[in-house]
Structure 1
Amino acid sequence: MPGVLRHDTEIGNLFIVGEENFLTALYFEHELGKLNFSLACTEGKSLPLLEEAARQLDQYLAGRRKYFTLPLKPEGTPFLQKVWHYLLSLPYGELTSYREIAFRMGNPRSYRAVALACQKNPLPIFIPCHRVVRSDGKIGGYKGGVEVKSRLIALELKNRT
C-alpha cells in the first residue's frame, strides 16, 4: 500500500505519494478527489523517501535546490513516459513550449498531445512541466493553478544563476 505525506508549503498543501523505493504522485490539495485510495488509511504511514521528498521540496521552494535526486515512477503510456522523460531534461530556469517539445521529439504536430501529457503529469514540480508554456509565451494551464505555475517560474528565473 502506498504511503502519503501531507506537506504544508508556501504554495499550499501538497500530498506526496510513494512506495518504499519510489515516488508515484504529488497532489495539490484541490486534487484530493482524484486520489484512488483512502487518505485516512495511508496518511501517517511514514516512509523515509516521502520525508526526503518533502525536504527537497522545501529546499527547492527556498531557492536552494535546482534538481531533485529522488527515484520517480510515474505511470502512463509509452508516449506519456517519453514526454515526462524529456521534461526531466529541461534545465532549471529555462522555459520551452509544447510545440518545441513536440518538434524535438520528432513529431511537430503532436504539440496538443504534449500539452495533455503535461496535464497528466502525476509528479508535478518533480517532473518540471511548469517549465512548459504556450508558443505565444503565455503561461498556459497547470495542475496547481496558473498562480502556482507563475510562482514556480518566477522562483527559477530569479535563482537560475
Structure 2
Amino acid sequence: MTFESHLFASALGALVPSFMLILQMEKQWARELPPQCSGVLDSAFWLLPDAIFPHLECLGVVGRALYVDFYAFDLILFPLIYSTALLGVLRRLWPDRQLVWTLPVLAASCDVVENVSILKLLRLFPERWETLENVVSVTTRTKWVAVLSAIAFVVAGVLKLMAGRADTTSTKSGKGE
C-alpha cells in the first residue's frame, strides 16, 4: 500500500467518528442555547453576511465560548479529514480527471479560511467587521458548492462504475449463449 492509500484509509476511518463528535456538539448547543441560534454558522448552505452578527449576538457569552471550543476540532482537523476522504474517492472513481480532484482541496481551503474568520469575529465581538463577515459568507458558499459538486461526481462515478460492470456482465452472458 502507498502512503496515499494509508492516508485515504485513515481519513475514511476518521469520518464517522468525526460526524458523531459534531452531532454531540450540536446536541449540547441545542440543550444550552436558544433554538434560533443553536446551529453552526458554517452549516448554512447560502449564508448571508447580514445573518452572521445577529447569530453571534444571539449565542450569548456561553454560546460563543461553545463555538470557540467547537473550532478546536473544526478549525483544521475536520476539513482535513473530509477532504482527504473525498479526494481519495474521487481519485479512484475519476483517475484521469485531475481537475475534479481539486474540489475537495478547494472545499477544505475555504472551510479553513471560513473557520479562522469566524474565530476572529468571535474574538472581536461585540465589535463588528463587515468585510470579514463577507469573507465568511463567500467562503461558506464556495465550500458548500465545492463539497456538493464533489459528492455529485462521486455519485456519477459510482453510477458510471455500475453501468460499466452491467455492460461487462451482459456482454459475458451474451457470449455464453
Q: TM-score, normalised by structure 2?
A: 0.29
The structure carrying a bigger strand percent of its residues is: 1
> Structure with the greater relative contact order (CA < 8 A, sep ≥ 6): 1 or 2?
2
Higher helix fraction (1 or 2)? 2
Give TM-score scaled by structure 1 length: 0.31
